[in-house]
Amino acid sequence: MGTRKKVHAFVRVKPTDDFAHEMIRYGDDKRSIDIHLKKDIRRGVVNNQQIDWSFKLDGVLHDASQDLVYETVAKDVVSQALNGYNGTIMCYGQTGAGKTYTMTGATENYKHRGILPRALQQVFRMIEERPTHAITVRVSYLEIYNESLFDLLSTLPYVGPSVTPMTIVENPQGVFIKGLSVHLTSQEEDAFSLLFEGETNRIIASHTMNKNSSRSHCIFTIYLEAHSRTLSEEKYITSKINLVDLAGSERLGKSGSEGRVLKEATYINKSLSFLEQAIIALGDQKRDHIPFRQCKLTHALKDSLGGNCNMVLVTNIYGEAAQLEETLSSLRFASRMKLVTTEPAINEKYDAERMVKNLEKELALLKQELAIHDSLTNRTFVTYEAMDEIQIAEINSQVRRYLEGTLDEIDIINLRQIKEVFNQFRVVLSQQEQEVESTLRRKYTLIDRNDFAAISAVQKAGLVDVDGHLVGEPEGQNFGLGVAPFSTKPGKKAKSKKTFKEPLSSLARKEGASSPVNGKDLDYVSTSKTQLVPSSKDGDVKDMLSRDRETSSIEPLPSDSPKEELRPIRPDTPPSKPVAFEEFKNERGSEINRIFKENKSILNERRKRASETTQRINAIKREIDVTKEALDFQKSLREKQGEYENKGLMIIDEEEFLLILKLKDLKKQYRSEYQDLRDLRAEIQYCQHLVDQCRHRLLMEFDIWYNESFVIPEDMQMALKPGGSIRPGMVPVNRIVSLGEDDQDKFSQLQQRVLPEGPDSISFYNAKVKTEQKHNYLKTMMGLQQAHRK
């Protein structure tokens, strides 16, 4: 278990021109804040009103930039998360005090981004600095609105809305939200896209205190999982970072909330009140029960509040005299939070695959010990290894000779050999059954006796009598032998073939693939009740069936052959998107589809090379381990036998010297292969980016084509023609999406040159542009659909 530590609490003051200097003062160490109120003279001479308060905190941030806030508050929490410690950063305060700005920042300006996007950037930067670990990043975005749970990322096309409501579930591993989608992110830009997608789905409203007031509590969670690439340990570490943006407390008299906004404010104040009660209970060492389940907010944050977590609170306050009462309330909450203690510890788990490998090594050592024991007891012929093909073939030969009577008994050595003997008995029996069946198939065509349709067909062909017996079948026998071949009946041969073909063809057309006379069922064998048709007719039957299939497969073709040169008439109802997508890939989107397939083939080739390189690295690593063990053995042997020195130099034997040279060469090979693997991974990441770009471009172009071809009304098509008021390519998406490949590249290069914040901001802005494009597209499509209905 980890050591107990107190929650860190910071205060951030919102900048204002009307700062109350006489009432709010900061300590010299920037760790305390003093509040002074003037006495209310209306209370008379006897006035016991408290006018001074002092609050000790971990830091006061006044006129602090977003960079300074992140360095002070969040950087250590995020860095420790990659070492296996959970972390939580929470913003609390009055409505309009700057909580959302502190947590998320302004997405319009890269410099003004908040704690959340900076934390994502730090996570991916630290992952790049740790090539010895394979680190997986996943994210989720939860909203608590009016005591209901919502997934802010459910609008993504591959997620969709949840059928059942989300619930909070507890298990020995902690608290998790059942039904909340968790998304894997392999690069920084994808994480930003998910963040911006969730931000656009948040519920906001306007009142007198704040034009864009958050009406819900939001929790953005980053899940990390780190596996070592070099060590063979089965342990790996997991952690999560909860970034909590609470809705602000409101005084209804000041905010002037009404209607829906008033109801939201009631739920917000109620949940914040329950949060404060939980904090008071956690700070009291004598309390046994903590009321976490009073509301969804405290229940969801049970792990973070006083649990296995590094907890940091940022309290946002106003610096104006008019808001001093709410400022005091927020500072009291921060003081109570500092009394709460947490017990952070590294979250270690075990990899089942690596545990199996380690157990296999231990098993090999135990087998070696057994071999030594058997050699001491004169049981050297006993083996504990799995049998190879030669030993299995020898047992098979012994079993066959035993069944033939040429071998009296089979010598028993161990349990594995006994099991293999029984297995070979089963193999021999199966082979004999197959030989009997193949012999019968060469002479007869087998038909199931319970298949009355097939029997009726062969009766019409004259192969069996009305009682269902074959010609020449003795009474009470399963098989009719000595059937006269059809070659002795030349006068009936053509007629019987014709008569036989007609019912078979009709049966095949009526019953399709389940017909008893198709190729598959002709080979059907019933071990209890079967009838046999002579093999001389078998070829004719199969020929007729094959011709009948060819005829039935060719028949519908003439009806599906419209003239391709004629422009197809627009259907009354649009075709399904999968069908239209295949048509689009063969026509308008053929070039993009070709580029997509080429990029994908290159990506698969790079992945295959990376896999082969990884196998070589693992093989070299195993050889290095074996060489090290041998070298350690030689060193220990030399120490036992005595060491020799000549002029201060240690003398070693030739075998140890060769092992040292071999180890040096292996390490050199390992470094070279590992460098190649890193280069391949960089190429894979780039190729994956190209494939994703092509896929996105293909889907977007398909949406444009589909809507222009099937969704937009006919009366609007005239505007899309040359000279019309709407240019092609601008419906329904904006111009950036419909740029050509070269124009898109030029746009990306121009974007990299003109961005003032440098290359680190590219992924931030790319994600923002893509999110805006998507929502503009959806708005345009909704407008077109409404116009189509009208």
- Going by the annotation, the residues of the binding site for ATP are 93-100
502: Cβ–Cβ under 8 A, 6 or more apart, which residues? 460
Nearest to 196 by CA among 127, 141, 136: 141
d(CA 370, CA 379): 10
Q: Where are the beta strands (DSSP E) in 360-503?
A: 444-448
Annotated binding site: 93-100
Q: Which two tokens stand for residue 672?
A: 């070279």
**Phi, psi torsion values for 176, nearest 5 degrees:** -145, 160
d(CA 117, CA 123): 10
DSSP symbols for 456-484:
HHHHHTTSB-TTSPBTTPPTT-SS--SPP
DSSP letter string, 558-609: GGG---TTSPPPPPSSPPPHHHHHHHHHHTTTHHHHHHHHHHHHHHHHHHHH
Of 237, 336, 310, 339, which Cα lies nearest the Cα of 2?
A: 310
Give the strand order in the sheet containing 24-26: 24-26, 32-36, 52-56
- 3 state DSSP class of 670: helix
- The angle subtended at Cα 374 by Cα 369 and Cα 378, nearest 5°, is 155
Query: Nearest 5 degrees, angle CA 80-CA 82-CA 86?
Result: 60
Instruction: Tokens 């400022």: give the residue.
Output: 327
Q: How many CA atoms lie within 13 A of 599 on its CB side?
A: 19
The answer to whether the beta carbons of residues 706 and 578 sit under 8 Å apart is no
Helix axes 452-460, 490-511, angle to 10 degrees: 150
d(CA 587, CA 585) in angstroms, rounded, equals 6
* Alpha-carbon separation of residue 238 from 186, 241, 299, 308, 468 (angstroms): 17, 11, 22, 12, 72
Cα dihedral sign for 411, 417, 422, 426? negative
Which structure tokens are listed for 221?
């969670």
Task: Give whole-number Cα distances, 563 to 117, 569, 582, 652, 710, in Å.
Answer: 56, 12, 19, 87, 21
Amino acid making up residue 74 = A
